[in-house]
Structure 1
Amino acid sequence: MTLSRSRRRQAEPASAPRRRALSTARARIIAWMLLLVFVALAVLTLVTWRLSVDDVDARMDEALRSEIEEFTNLTQSGIDPSTGQAFSGVDQVLEVAITYNLARPNEKFLGYIDGTFAYQSRQQAPVLLANDRAFTDLVATVDRPKEGFYESAAGEVRYIAVPVSLAQDPRRGVIVAAYFADQEREDVNDIARLMAGAGAATILLVAAGAWVVAGRILRPLRDITATARSITDTDLSRRIPQASRRPGDEIGELVDTVNAMLDRVENAVAVQRRFVDDAGHELRTPITIVRGHLEVLDTSDPDDVAGTLALVEDELMRMNRMVSDLLLLAKSEQPEFLRAEPVDVAALTSSVFDKITGLGEREWVLDHVADTEAVLDPQRITQAVVALADNAARHTEVGGRIAFSSHSSGGMVRFSVKDSGPGVSAEDRERIFERFARGGSGRRSEGAGLGLSIVRAIAAAHGGRVTLDSEPGQGAMFTVEVPVVAAPPHPGRHTEGGR
């Protein structure tokens, strides 16, 4: 029980940072989304409210100006519209003007005679401007039309004061149209508050939606973390699960990139392990041979010393060649293995044929030359063909016929080496290109059995393959087939047949 609790305590700190990191990323996404939504809603509400207030203010100003026109027309005519008789005094003008004009909501009409309040409209008002001494002092004695703003106990008041006079009356009157602006704007303010409330609800909905969306966005990142933690030095096969990806999906591209990186890492580790395994397996025999002869060496016998030295030198040369071949096979799975360039296949064929004719006393024949251009690595192709020719020379008697040719068709270039040796048996074809494999037909090779593996690796690096056409007793024809333009090999590609 104690051990179990200890392990649990060790596991919790390892997973806690991951949860905190994901939570932090999720919180950041949500915070930025909410900030953007808040700014957008705030700007929208503010602009809508400001435009609406401006519209209300413009409507009040227009209403006040229309009152000026009505009051002016009434006083200029000097006729009471209700009786058709001339006004008898300023007080009658004010009474008729205030009674005749119907005040709008939040609008108030007031009349003053010689600086003293006299009349007002019947509409209810938030405050009694008639009792406001400061307002009376401001408007009761004007001698020409005046408009302005006044801060009352009920807020802003927008007003217009128009002087009224009659020739037959020495008294001076003033008629005032006043709007309680704050009350008039109250509907707009209510709409703004409603928009603010709706915005708050929208932000809550966006927060909930952002939480879900952020979780889905971060799911591949959690998969990456889980996959990375599940990979060990003995198991590199795990990959991040990938759902169907749409074009332009950055997260999907990240998953593909990480999976491709894991493929490369697994391949590199596999190459390293295979190299170590092969080297350890194949070098054990020559080392054992050298050690065994050195243990029984009679240093007093010159012939024994000379023979042992010759054997040790031969085994060391074989080990050196074996290590070089293994390193070459390891490099063949790396991108920099090839140095492709435009090549004249005819010139390459002639050059390679001149080199292989020195491999032994055989009847070397150049059957056909492809007259084409190709993009490939001429040195690697030369290496592969020389290896095939050397293999053919080892399995062909002196004076035997070995034909070399190159052909081009269907976007592929083929280099073939055909010998007149004993051919390849059916059972050998299944394993001839494997590392350290040696065919059972013909003479035994003293090599390490890596030559044909190297040929296959060179062909695969070009995006091609090696094929074998042979019947026992009828010779064998090996063909290196590569694209006209060298392409990287497909994962898991295998060559056919083998000697």
Structure 2
Amino acid sequence: MEAIIATDLGPGTVEHDPHARRTGRATAARTRIVGWVVLFVLTSLGVVTLVTWLLLIGETDRRVDAALGPQIDEFARSARAGVNPSTGRPFGSVDEILRSVIATNVARPNEKFLGYLDGRFRWESRVISPDVRLRTDPAFTRLVATVPAPTRGTYMSAGGEVHWAALPVGLDGRPERGVVVIAYLVDQEHEFADEAARLMTLVGIGVAMLSALGAWLAAGRILQPLRDVAATARGITDTDLSRRVPLRARPRDEIAELAGTLNDMLDRVQSGMQSQRRFVDDAGHELRTPITIVRGHLGVLDPEDPDDVRDAVALVDDELDRMNQLVSEMLSLTRAEQLTLLQPEEVDVDAFTREMFGKLTALADREWRLTSAAPIHMRLDPHRITQAVVALADNAVRATGPGDRIELGSDADDERLRIRVSDDGPGISEADRARIFRRFARGENAPRSDGAGLGLSIVEAIATTHGGRVRLDSVVGEGATFTLDLPREGA
């Protein structure tokens, strides 16, 4: 049987789900994108619909106005002929002219022919058309029934806008005055434009819905890299910096550049933290011995014995010097491992090699030789490279004696620069080659020095931060050659 446990969180207490909050933020961003897309689509379609409707309305009005002219001309010709086409006899009255003109011309849909005699309505075309009662509209009657000359105009009736043209007619010898009126009910003519606008509106709503769906799907794909960034950031802790944003197969765009930049930043942060941890570990490991030595001697120190005190002070001073040397070398190694501390610049390698050679000759009484200098320019950090070469030369000095040979040279090809330091000392055994680059390691036959055993580690770190490596070629009894092998692309 499954047990159900109820937990009382107390009044006003709400349990928050971080994942739900993240999902809500992601959905809100997606919704905003969709909202903006739909707003843009609806606005664009609204503008297009309005412009199209206005153009259709304008075209209809122009067509109606253009049709009024020929109709009035036709009415004028019929009236001037003076003969009733139905009887073949001359018109006997103005009223007969009005009835004949209206009866013999067929009104189209949305068109009305009206006849007025002495200011009063008399005739109207009988074609079926919208029920707009112009004949009983006193305002329209006053407007058109007594015009003295052919006239055009517009009138807003109860049934909509009307475009009209009026032609006064008369008969010689008769006092009556008549007016023939052609009226177009343009609101009905505008129905096509209105229907087109309604259709475009419905299509626009459908397009907006499809756009919203497409925007929702597209926003999901666009925001996925950002979700990857957020997931990677949440997975990083102070003890685990190994996670990286997955670089999915996609065109190189701003989001992919963001992911790559974040990964590069995480690489630098991880490198810095690893260097700090190594520094702390190395310091804790290497400083423990001199501290133990000092504490042991101070524990058995006889303060009443001047000689014992003097020896203890000398021992403590020696150990402090060694600790200072150790810390200095560890700091140098830590700095050498930091890419952000590199300061590359364009360097003339030929002049740079000769400058370094001038510095090396002051290290000790040896037979110094400059074998070659590469005539190229490339980007590198001259201070770091000088530090590495001086460290290699210092090792060569320790492995040789006065008058022994030490050589410096540089050469290059299309892809790499090589800076070599060679000596004719005892060489390095096969067993020592694998360990001399380790921290605090020394070769079995290495001469005693005041260093902490970090010199070659520093050299290797400098070469690595320049994208290169350190090579060792040595034959026991015939000397050793250390080579800084660096890519021509530069640091």
TM-score w.r.t. the length of structure 1 is: 0.89
Which SS does the other structure have where 1:298 is aligned?
A: coil
Is 1:160 matched with 2:165?
Answer: yes
Q: What whole-Å deviation, never above 9, does each CA across 1:386-429 have from its counterpart, x for those lacking one?
A: 22222223233x34623212132305443323223332222221
CA distance in 2, matches of 1:306, 1:387: 35
User: Residue 92 of structure 1: which of 74, 90, 96 is its match?
Assistant: 96
Counterpart of 2:385 (choices 368, 376, 381) is: 381
Counterpart-to-counterpart distance in 1, 2:138 and 2:33: 60
1:3–1:355: structure 2 CA closer, same or farther, 3 Å change rule? farther
Counterparts of 1:349 and 1:119 in 2: how far apart (Å)?
115
Q: Residues 384 and 53 of structure 1: is their aligned pair in 2 closer, same or farther, counting only changes over 3 Å?
A: same
Conserved in 1, the CA contact under 8 Å of 2:406 and 2:422? yes
Name the aligned partner's letter for residue 466 of structure 2: H
Instruction: Indicate the residue corresponding to 1:135 in structure 2.
Output: 140
After alignment, is 408-417 or 66-75 more displaced?
408-417
Residue ranges of structure 1 left out of the alignment (5+ in a row):
489-499
Per the alignment, residue 118 of structure 1 pairs with: 122
Give the whole-Å Cα distance in 2 for the aligned partners of 1:10 and 1:105. Answer: 71
Q: 1:402 to 1:455 in 2, by over 3 A?
A: farther
Q: Is the 8 A contact 1:345 1:372 kept in 2?
A: yes
CA contact (8 A) 2:107 2:113 kept: yes
Question: Aligned in 2, Cα 1:471/1:3: closer, same or farther, shift over 3 Å?
Answer: farther
User: What is aligned with 1:48?
Assistant: 52
Instruction: For 2:462 and 2:311, locate their aligned partners in 1 and report how far apart those are by CA, in whole Å.
Output: 38
Matched, 1:237 2:242: yes
**For the residues of structure 1 that align with 2:367 and 2:382, how far apart are their CA atoms?**
21
In 2, Cα distance between equivalents of 1:150 and 1:349: 99
- What's the offset of the Cα at 1:340? 4.0
CA RMSD of aligned residues (A): 2.5
> Structure 2 CA distance, aligned partners of 1:79 and 1:132?
31
1:392, 1:402 within 8 Å by CA — same for their partners in 2? Answer: no
* Preserved contact between residue 112 and residue 173 of structure 1 (Cα < 8 Å): yes
Q: Secondary structure at the match of 2:451?
A: coil
What is the aligned counterpart of 1:365 among 359, 365, 368?
Answer: 368
In the TM superposition, what whole-angstrom CA distance separates every residue of 1:359-406 from its partner, at most 9, and x where no partner exists?
445x4231513163544444433322222222223233x346232121
Alignment of structure 1 residues 6-17 onto 2, 5 Å: 12-17=16-21
Per-residue deviation, 1:161: 1.6
Is 1:264 aligned to 2:268, yes or no? yes
- The answer for the alignment partner of 1:63 in structure 2 is 67
Change (3 A) 1:205 1:430: same
Amino acid in structure 2 at the alignment position of 1:42: G
1:293-340, CA deviations, whole angstroms, 9 ceiling, x for partnerless residues? 111111222222122111111111111111111111111133454444
In the alignment, the residues of structure 1 paired with residue 457 and residue 8 of structure 2 have an alpha-carbon distance, to the nearest angstrom, of: 53
Contact kept, 8 Å, 1:400 with 1:421, in 2: the verdict is no
2:64 maps to a residue whose letter is M
Give the drift of 1:130: 2.3
The match for 1:419 is 423
Deviation at 1:232, TM superposition (A): 0.8
In structure 1, distance between residues paired with 2:468 and 2:91 = 116
Corresponding residue for residue 435 of structure 1? 439
- Aligned residue in 1 for 2:221: 216
How big is the shift at 1:483? 4.8
Q: 1:2: how far off?
A: 6.7
C-alpha separation in 1, matches of 2:159 and 2:353: 105
1:124-149 alpha-carbon deviations (Å, 9 max, x no partner): 23133223333223222222222222
Counterpart-to-counterpart distance in 2, 1:47 and 1:356: 83
For 1:409-457, what per-residue CA distance to the aligned partner results, in whole angstroms no more than 9, with x for missing partners? Answer: 3054433232233322222211211111111234344421101111122
SS in structure 1 at match of 2:135: helix
Deviation at 1:85, TM superposition (A): 3.5
Structure 1: distance between partners of 2:382 and 2:422: 21
Contact 1:406 1:413 in 2 (8 A): no
Matches within 5 A, 1:138-149: 138-149=143-154
Q: Which residue of 2 aligns with 1:281?
A: 285
CA offset digits 1:72-114 (Å, max 9, x no partner): 1222232334554432221221122112211111101111222
Displacement of 1:273 in angstroms is: 0.8
Moved more, 175-184 or 143-152: 143-152
Does the CA contact (< 8 Å) of 2:353 and 2:410 recur in 1?
no
Is 163-172 or 15-24 further displaced after alignment?
15-24
Spell out the pairing of 1:336-347 with structure 2 (5 A cutoff): 337-341=341-345, 343=347, 345=349, 347=351
CA contact (8 A) 1:374 1:484 kept: no
Partner amino acid, structure 1, of 2:98: L
Q: Give the one of 161, 179, 193 matched to 1:188.
A: 193
Q: TM-score, normalised by structure 2?
A: 0.91
| Residue type at the aligned position of 2:457 | S
- Aligned residue type for 1:310: A
CA distance, structure 2, for counterparts of residue 204 and residue 342 of structure 1: 58
Q: Distance in 1 between matches of 2:197 and 2:354?
A: 89
Q: State the shift of 1:470 in Å.
A: 0.8
Question: Could you tell me which residue of structure 2 aligns to residue 105 of structure 1?
Answer: 109
Q: CA deviation at 1:23?
A: 2.2
* Mapped partners of 1:142, 1:340: distance in 2: 95
Q: Give 1:233 shift.
A: 0.9
Number of residue-to-residue matches in the alignment: 482
Q: Deviations over 1:159-189 (max 9, x none)?
A: 1121110103221111111111211211221
Asked whether the 8 Å contact 1:155–1:181 carries over to 2, the reply is yes
Q: Which of residues 460, 463, 469 in structure 2 aligns to 1:459?
A: 463
SS at match of 1:169: coil
1: CA distance, partners of 2:454 / 2:15: 47
The residue aligned with 2:328 is 324
Say whether residues 1:313 and 2:329 are aligned partners.
no
The answer to whether the 8 Å contact 2:337/2:462 transfers is: no
Query: Hey, what's the Cα distance between the residues in 1 that align with 2:351 and 2:258?
Result: 45
- Determine the C-alpha separation between the residues in 2 that align with 1:341 and 1:256: 25
2:226 match: secondary structure: helix
Structure 1 residues 116, 347: closer, same or farther in 2, change over 3 A? closer
What is the letter of the counterpart of residue 134 of structure 1? A
For 2:176 and 2:410, how far apart are their aligned partners in 1? 124
Gaps of 5+ in 2: none
Change in CA separation of 1:442 and 1:240 when aligned onto 2, cut-off 3 Å:
closer
Q: Which amino acid aligns with 1:269?
A: M
**Which stretch of the first structure deviates more once superposed, 455-464 or 429-438?**
455-464
Query: Which residue identity does 1:285 align to in structure 2?
Result: T
The one of 409, 413, 427 equivalent to 2:412 is 409
Q: 1:354 to 1:130 in 2, by over 3 A?
A: closer
Query: Residue 170 of structure 2 aligns to a residue in which SS?
Result: strand
Distance in 2 between the 1:251 and 1:342 partners? Answer: 32
Query: SS at 1:242's partner residue?
Result: coil
Distance in 1 separating the partners of 2:320 and 2:7: 55
Q: Secondary structure at the match of 2:478?
A: coil
**1:242 Cα deviation (Å)?**
1.5
Residue 295 of structure 2: SS of its match in structure 1?
Answer: helix
